[in-house]
Structure 1
């Protein structure tokens, strides 16, 4: 049996006539007749009988059709999946992300990307920058988003954007009426800091040392969102990354800090693994969003 014979048989079963089946297959009537005759010879039994110019399937043909249809549905499902993959409407994207970008910015972008590509699923993991880079290097995810990172073997690093860090204060703080906050303004304030192992902590400490401003360390925490919670409960003030600061709403007071401390965001991909079409499309989408941030309107 040949596929073309089965296609002709299925078409006749669906359309109930040689003429209509020929139209469905975009071939001539004699071609369909010949394909049916060849199939009958191959299977060894009659498939159709003609009564009063109408074509009726035999009982054997009905049984055969059930199997043929099951097979064709499977093929059509595969073809449909292929079309979805080609149009980027099917597939899974595994994304690892540093907490700073996971607070709001990246989920918003992913949600918009998924709305454009219905059928795509995303596996989203949140880890520190070092672990994210290691996951990408070990091919445990398709793409990673990081902060203040340095290159490491096995990954390609691309800087997405930089933005100045923000000062956050409890509601009703004595500095609430200031348009911006300086290092000198925070002299003597209880300060919620990142851990010493983070580059961000080092940069902030060096700036305050440069201006000879002393703060009172009240809490150490590695997550900006949790630092913001401490600030909201009056445990102190802090300087955090802008992506998280922009999500805080009215939980705390957010003010520009001077002199500015730039916070870097980057994306890492594998040096060895070839990116899928879906991953490439997502990265291009992210770059478009970053460009729109740089040139609003």
Structure 2
């Protein structure tokens, strides 16, 4: 099957008729019919049967579709990559962010950056570690900002800054409102667990297990701001990154550093074979500057 055959077959299979497929592809109905007939002639079997005005896939078409769908998605990925490469030449920066960075750090840095780069377009997407590699390969983003990400093949990591994990607690749990706490002080408290949330969850879990401490944990989350909002409802305490902690403070909660401290790295990730543009480097510098104000 040629690429055009795949595109037409996929469209008819998904929409159920030549008319709908033609509308979806923005081509004429006769051209869709012609390509379909040519594909069936080359394959040597029918792909559809007409039943009450609809085209019903044959058994052979159903067997073929899974493989065709894989190729179709690859074609779409190539088109997306090509479009994003074209856009990158027009002063665009496409960034993938860990959600926690959207509370304070990156918005402030973007505001400062735009003062000196008013004509640069910035597109920000939130994503998690497991989504970064595909987004970079498809050129959907120029770089990603992630917390202590694992090594990825073909991806270069650059340290932007080092930060720390913090305890968020309800004021009524600790009326003295300490500014620094150790893990032992949390033993009798309900912990909002983030163990399955990625690298930061691993850091917290390792600290607790290394000290052979048993924690009460009946609520687990994978998103840090949800943990912080549960603390605001006085459901327990949590240990999360300082950006989410500071961005979700309210009159009922306080934050404290851990003693000894638990540090993590904010890394910028980009394709090894694609150097960052100067504008991207300037934005990363601005993020570093804002973090150290």
Q: Which interval holds the TM-score relative to the shorter structure?
A: 0.5 to 0.7
Helix, strand or coil for the counterpart of 2:161? strand
Distance in structure 2 (CA, Å) of the matches to 1:155 and 1:201? 23
Distance in structure 2 (CA, Å) of the matches to 1:102 and 1:133? 20
Match of 2:257 in 1: 256
Q: Could you tell me whether the CA contact under 8 Å between 1:137 and 1:271 is conserved in 2?
A: no
1:290 aligns with 2:291: no
* CA shift for structure 1 position 194: 1.1
Q: Could you tell me whether the CA contact under 8 Å between 1:169 and 1:176 is conserved in 2?
A: no
Which runs of structure 2 are paired with 1:1-297 in the superposition (5 Å)? 91-174=91-174, 176-196=176-196, 198-251=198-251, 252-275=253-276, 279-291=277-289, 293-294=291-292, 296=293
Distance in structure 1 (CA, Å) of the matches to 2:132 and 2:289? 24
User: Which ranges of structure 2 fall in alignment gaps of 5 or more residues?
Assistant: 1-89
Q: Which runs of 4+ in 1 moved over 6 A?
A: none
Q: Could you tell me whether the CA contact under 8 Å between 1:190 and 1:215 is conserved in 2?
A: yes
**Structure 1 189/121 Cα, relative in aligned 2: closer, same or farther at 3 Å?**
same
**Structure 1 287/120 Cα, relative in aligned 2: closer, same or farther at 3 Å?**
closer
Q: What is the TM-score of this pair, normalised by structure 1? A: 0.62
Distance in structure 2 (CA, Å) of the matches to 1:208 and 1:188? 14
Larger Rg: 1
* CA shift for structure 1 position 274: 4.6
Q: Could you tell me whether the CA contact under 8 Å between 1:97 and 1:146 is conserved in 2?
A: yes
Q: How far does the alpha carbon of each residue in 1:213-269 deviate from its partner, in whole angstroms, 9 at most, with x for none?
A: 221113211221111000000111011011222223435211111121112211011
* CA shift for structure 1 position 292: 6.2
Q: How far does the alpha carbon of each residue in 1:76-98 deviate from its partner, in whole angstroms, 9 at most, with x for none?
A: xxxxxxxxxxxxxx632211111
Distance in structure 1 (CA, Å) of the matches to 2:220 and 2:110? 31
Q: Could you tell me whether the CA contact under 8 Å between 1:181 and 1:256 is conserved in 2?
A: yes
Q: What is the TM-score of this pair, normalised by structure 2? A: 0.63
Q: Could you tell me whether the CA contact under 8 Å between 2:109 and 2:286 is conserved in 1?
A: no
* CA shift for structure 1 position 120: 2.3
Distance in structure 2 (CA, Å) of the matches to 1:289 and 1:206? 29
Helix, strand or coil for the counterpart of 1:144? strand
Q: Could you tell me whether the CA contact under 8 Å between 2:230 and 2:236 is conserved in 1?
A: yes
Q: How far does the alpha carbon of each residue in 1:145-189 deviate from its partner, in whole angstroms, 9 at most, with x for none?
A: 111112212221101111221100013223543231111100121
Distance in structure 1 (CA, Å) of the matches to 2:169 and 2:223? 16
**Structure 1 291/124 Cα, relative in aligned 2: closer, same or farther at 3 Å?**
closer
Match of 1:78 in 2: none
* CA shift for structure 1 position 130: 2.4
User: Which ranges of structure 1 fall in alignment gaps of 5 or more residues?
Assistant: 1-89
Distance in structure 2 (CA, Å) of the matches to 1:104 and 1:133? 25
Q: Could you tell me whether the CA contact under 8 Å between 2:100 and 2:224 is conserved in 1?
A: yes
